[in-house]
Chain A
């Protein structure tokens, strides 16, 4: 009985090692220029009005709101190879700052991976997938599959081969406030967005 148990242990170990050795990560074949931001689509988040459309008066206790539906919320449009999965890391400042004063900043993100053509912002907005507030990492296929099993792994680059590409849209919006008894002026903060490509396992 004792011998049988050890035999099983080694067998499993061997299988595990060979599986690891054979795994090919197709992301290793991509270069950074395969993720490209469409020129002029880097958005800026301007929080100037509350839910009633009023400007933010200091000491009012009101909260600035930018909703996904707001035409001021324009997307970051990124061109990626369509066979990959895209992982997005969001690193947003928790507060916007002016001198020593701070305003709480709650970022929301929505994405669209339906392959919407360039310039069709409203179409991209209506089909965008909203993520829960506070999401820091999320992964989605660069081109959403309408149905069926995942496709084959990406074709490795070889002579004369051009990867099919697609557009993904990321919308940034959210809330700033409440505005307490702080200084009047312009508060600023940053959102760092990092894209990485993965092949579908």
Chain B
């Protein structure tokens, strides 16, 4: 019987302790302070590179050893538009030099050096030319950057025919 009474006492004490803890918590309102912290995450769209106009060279004069298509001044220059996150920094890498073989006979050869310029808007004469195969640029506040592609072609070993190439430019956010 003593044991039973002891068990009851423990239960009651437990209840009392809980009640007093409740009271203490109620008093804590005095020393209390709140702060709110904001958390944000920025998710961006993929960068798209759209080719608006191809670089197309029809019947260049074979007598000249070098034909130059300026990315800043020539109307034949290709036009590309990159779109992405406004004001984002991007790294572009592209092929600088290439040798093109004649498509059918594979006798003739053209040495080609790509010339690339860029501007925030579609203003080719004000574009700035890049001279190495890599650059760190910034997209415009509208999230755009225009690129013009010209070329310097060495035709000394070229024969009449069709020459094809694919210019590859990589863009990534940094």
Contact = CB atoms under 8 A, between A and B. Distances in A.
A18 to B, nearest CB: 11
Given A27-B30, A34-B31, A193 B37 contact: yes
Nearest to B173: A55
B30 A30 contact: yes
B168 interface: no
Interface residues of B, number: 37
Interface residues on A, range: 35 or more
Interface string B1-36: 110111011001100110110001001101111111
A17 B172 CA distance: 71
Contact of B38 (A8, A44, A58): A44
Given A8-B6, A196-B28, A56 B36 contact: no
Contacts of B88: 55
A133 interface: no
Interface string B33-49: 11111111111111000
Per DSSP, chain B at the interface is mixed
Contact of A44 (B4, B32, B40, B43): B40
A44 B37 contact: yes
A1 B2 contact: yes
A23 B4 CA distance: 30
A121 interface: no
A23 B94 CA distance: 76
Interface stretch (A122-130, A144-152, A177-185): A177-185
21 contacts: A1-B2, A5-B4, A8-B6, A16-B12, A16-B17, A20-B16, A29-B30, A35-B31, A44-B38, A47-B41, A48-B41, A55-B88, A64-B41, A103-B43, A172-B39, A182-B43, A190-B39, A192-B35, A194-B32, A194-B33, A197-B31
Q: Shortest 9 CB-CB distances between A and B: which pairs?
A: A5-B5, A197-B31, A30-B31, A47-B41, A35-B33, A45-B39, A20-B20, A184-B45, A191-B37
